[in-house]
């Protein structure tokens, strides 16, 4: 069998030599046959004629011998390929169209797949993502205060989970954030993460240089021990230089030193939110406010890695049984009395997390459930002006009675896709607990270019320490529709592409048929 | 010898005959064709041209080997010889052939 392969390969790759040998062999045969005939008494010409007759045609023998060599398929294939290339070269227009069609088709398919892959299919770039589990509260309707994101818990609740859990080899808490890197004036925001000390360890993320947070870095009163930055941030801000470790960043006006850099594949846990800077949760105190003791600030997502041998159901059941104790011990002293029962009845459960959250799917749904009671009341009155309603006490304000002074038309609130929510508007001047940030809506017929310096001057004259961001409302709306616009654009492009390919294909088929028919009609004049 | 008295070689037996011829010693293509004619007293009609495809096929199957050498008239020629596997194949096919002949003969005699 080896000999067979060797001979076939030889026939394939040393065709020249093999052909020459065969030719020589046949000539030898012919010579001897002629010589025999001559020795038998024939004339030279007669001998030659008879010899050729007896042997048969050279070409035919060579053909049959080539068949016998078993490489006929390849030889014809190569011949066909060469013919194809020649033909293509002779009609560059057709070749261009064919190549472009293929390229567009392949490219379009690849692009779509990559997009779907990035948004949906890609699992988290962490160690053993199938062991990761999300921990959240089954029914959040008992939550009062500020719910910052879907399925979030407060810091006290997180501390209890960390202390009491048993079914996980490790748990951690995290949330998305936006940090301002600009020391003053106009804001420069980068996406960031608040993470608990165990975050990187449990996920199995390693540093490229420097070190990452550990559980020891995360404690009450830690101040600003340092920041972990992403690989892309390291490249863009520090040029990938190893001297980045220890350098200072100004985050929300305070100095924080760079502690380490994460691996290039790690973008965070939110598909669509690529973090640049990560800070330990204990650093929220100097940078924002004391969220660590806030029982009504729901901001942390919690995840855990299952212990080997523990199933998701077991871990979930275990959390469920720990829940009464956890919620009893974390009940805030100033919690609205009407909601205390709901708070104590909350239950923690676990869900699989491997495909990662998608920022594109994440929606902040806040006000609807808070305002339903209000909406029902108002709906019964045709003209609610003059009616009053009571708002229950919160940790920041006592129970307050409001009088309705007017009505306005329905409007969208947070998201253009939401329904028109029932809303009431309260004046700033009555706000018992003003926020750290406010939004001003300015209508102007000046273009943004000319308006901007005027705004800057006006703001800084009022408060020289103020930090601000300016953008056009239209851009905000466009931005919120980014996903739909992307899909629409892609669909349009691909629809156009499909139409183009169909047209090209149709044209090709028709001209080919036409050419064939023409040739058949004039068999002796192919060019007619 | 007129061509009408020659018998056409049945399909596949050419291989057997080539192997048998080579059992007597290594030869080049022309010599094989001469030998075949001699042994059969010119009774067999072997289209000389069909010899070469057969030889190459046999070589591929490993039953014969080829090498270039100088022939008796001082010209370069491609010589073929039987391999060990070829010798075994010859025995096997000869046996099969004799059985076939005997069986067909029995049928013909019985009728």
Lowest-pLDDT choice from A241-250, A280-289, A393-402, B101-110: A393-402
Q: How far apart are CA A488 and CA A482, in angstroms?
A: 10
- Nearest CA to A278 out of A234, A245, A230 is that of A230
Residues of chain B with Cβ-Cβ distance to A23 below 8 Å are none
Task: Give residue-wise pLDDT tens across range A430-485.
Answer: 776 677 777 888 888 888 888 888 888 888 898 888 888 888 888 888 877 877 78
State the DSSP H helix or E strand holding residue A400, giving kind and residue range, or none if neither: strand A400-403
What SS3 state is found at A481? coil
Contact yes or no for A199/A364 (Cβ under 8 A): no
Residue found under tokens 């009671």: A373
Q: What is the pTM (predicted TM-score) of this model?
A: 0.53
Among A21, A32, A69, the strongest candidate for a mutation testing the B interface, having the largest count of B CBs within 10 A, is A32
What H or E segment, with its residue span, contains residue A515?
helix A482-521
* CATH number for the domain harbouring residue B85: 1.10.10.10
A74: distance to nearest CA of chain B, Å? 17
Written as six digits, the tokens of A248 are 């200072």
Number of domains in chain B: 1
Burial state string for A209-235 with b = 16 or more CB within 10 A and e = fewer than 16: ebebbebebbeeebebbbbbbbbebbe
Can you give the residue ranges of every domain in chain A? 2-90, 129-358, 365-438
Q: What is the mean pLDDT of chain A?
A: 82
How far is residue A494 from each of residues A101, A104, A247, A461, B73, measured CA to CA in Å? 13, 10, 47, 52, 76
Look-up: residue for tokens 């407060």? A154
pLDDT tens digit sequence for B4-39: 556 666 667 888 989 999 998 899 988 998 888 887
Among candidates B49, B61, B78 on the partner chain, residue whose Cβ is nearest the Cβ of A55? B49
Q: Which of A18, A25, A40, A64 to mutate to test the interface with B (most CBs of B within 10 A)?
A: A25
For chain B, the distance separating the N- and C-terminal CA atoms, rounded to the nearest angstrom, is 33
Q: Cβ(A263)–Cβ(A206) under 8 Å? A: yes
A 10 A CB-CB count for A110 gives 10
The tally of CA atoms less than 13 A away on the side-chain side of residue A3 is 13
The count of residues in chain B is 111
Instruction: Please state, in angstroms and rounded to a whole number, the distance separating the CA atoms of residues A75 and A60.
Output: 16
* Rg from Cα positions in chain A: 39
pLDDT at position A279 is 96
What ipTM was predicted for this assembly? 0.85
- Give yes or no for residue B111 having a pLDDT over 80: no
- pLDDT of A359 > 50? The answer is no
The rounded distance, in Å, linking the Cα atoms of A379 and A497 is 51
Q: Are A119 and A256 in contact (CB under 8 A)?
A: no
Nearest to A22, CA basis, from B77, B50, B57: B77
Cα angle, residue A113 at apex, residues A110 and A117 outer, rounded to 5°: 135
Evaluate if residue A505 carries a pLDDT over 60: yes
Set of chain A residues whose Cβ sits within 8 Å of the Cβ of B76: 24, 28
Determine the structural domain holding residue B15 and report its residue range: 3-110
* B56–A contact, CB cutoff 8 A: yes
Taking an 8 Å cut-off on Cβ atoms, the answer to whether B62 and A1 are in contact is yes
DSSP A352: E
What one-character-per-residue DSSP string does A441-478 give? ----SS-HHHHHHHHHHHHHHH-TT-EE----HHHHHH
Angstrom distance (rounded) from CA A252 to CA A381: 47
């Amino acid at each position: 069998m080896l000999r067979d392969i060797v001979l076939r390969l030889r026939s394939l790759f040393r065709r020249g030599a093999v052909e020459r040998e065969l030719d020589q062999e046949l000539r030898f045969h012919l010579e001897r046959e002629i010589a025999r005939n001559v020795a038998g008494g024939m004339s030279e010409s007669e001998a030659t004629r008879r010899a050729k007759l007896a042997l048969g045609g050279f070409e035919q023998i060579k053909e049959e011998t080539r068949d016998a060599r078993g490489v006929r398929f390849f030889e014809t294939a190569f011949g066909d390929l060469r013919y194809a290339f020649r033909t293509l070269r002779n009609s560059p227009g057709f070749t261009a169209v064919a190549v472009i069609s293929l390229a567009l088709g392949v490219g379009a398919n690849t692009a779509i797949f990559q997009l779907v892959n990035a948004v949906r299919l890609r699992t988290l770039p962490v160690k053993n993502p199938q062991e990761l589990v999300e921990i959240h509260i089954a029914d959040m309707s008992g939550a009062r205060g500020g719910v910052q994101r879907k399925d979030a818990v407060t810091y006290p609740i997180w501390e209890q989970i960390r202390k009491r859990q048993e079914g996980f080899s490790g748990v951690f808490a995290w949330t998305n954030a936006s940090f301002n890197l600009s020391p003053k004036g106009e804001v420069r925001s980068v996406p960031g993460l608040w993470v608990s000390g165990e975050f990187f360890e449990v996920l199995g993320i390693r540093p490229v240089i420097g070190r990452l947070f550990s559980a020891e870095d995360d404690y009450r009163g830690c101040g600003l021990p340092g920041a972990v930055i992403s690989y892309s941030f390291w490249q863009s801000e520090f040029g990938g230089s190893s001297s980045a470790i220890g350098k200072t960043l100004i985050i929300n006006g305070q100095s924080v030193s760079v502690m380490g850099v994460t691996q290039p594949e790690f973008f965070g846990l939110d598909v669509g939110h690529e973090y640049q800077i990560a800070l330990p949760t204990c650093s929220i105190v100097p940078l924002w406010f004391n969220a660590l003791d806030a029982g009504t600030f729901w901001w942390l997502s919690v995840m855990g890695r299952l212990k080997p041998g523990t199933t998701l159901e077991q871990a979930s059941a275990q959390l469920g049984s720990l829940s009464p104790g956890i919620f009893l011990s974390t009940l805030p002293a100033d919690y609205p009395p009407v909601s205390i029962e709901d708070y104590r009845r909350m239950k923690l459960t676990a869900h699989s997390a491997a495909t990662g959250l998608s920022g594109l799917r994440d929606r902040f749904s806040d006000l609807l459930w808070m305002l339903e009671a209000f909406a029902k009341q108002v709906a019964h009155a045709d003209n609610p002006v003059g009616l009053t309603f009571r708002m229950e006490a919160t940790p920041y304000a006592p129970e307050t009675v409001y009088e309705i002074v007017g009505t306005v038309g329905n409007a969208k609130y947070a998201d253009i896709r939401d329904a028109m929510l029932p809303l009431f508007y309260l004046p700033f001047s009555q706000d018992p607990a003003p926020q750290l940030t406010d939004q001003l809506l300015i209508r102007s017929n000046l273009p943004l270019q000319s308006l901007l310096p005027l705004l800057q001057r006006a703001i800084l004259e009022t408060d020289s320490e103020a930090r601000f961001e300016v953008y056009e409302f239209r851009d905000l709306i466009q931005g919120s529709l980014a996903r739909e616009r992307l899909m629409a654009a892609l669909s349009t492009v691909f629809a156009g592409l499909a139409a183009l390919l169909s047209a090209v294909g149709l044209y090709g088929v028709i001209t080919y048929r036409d050419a064939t028919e023409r040739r058949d009609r004039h068999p002796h004049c192919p060019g007619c | 010898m007129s061509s009408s008295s020659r018998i056409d070689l049945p399909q596949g037996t050419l291989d057997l005959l080539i192997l048998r011829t080579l059992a007597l010693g290594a030869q080049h293509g022309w010599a094989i064709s001469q030998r075949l004619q001699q042994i059969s007293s010119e009774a067999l009609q072997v289209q000389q041209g069909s010899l070469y495809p057969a030889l190459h096929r046999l070589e591929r199957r490993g039953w014969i080997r080829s090498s270039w050498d100088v022939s008796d008239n001082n010209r370069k020629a491609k010589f073929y010889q039987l391999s060990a596997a070829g010798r075994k194949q010859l025995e096997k096919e000869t046996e099969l052939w004799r059985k076939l002949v005997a069986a067909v003969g029995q049928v013909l005699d019985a009728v």
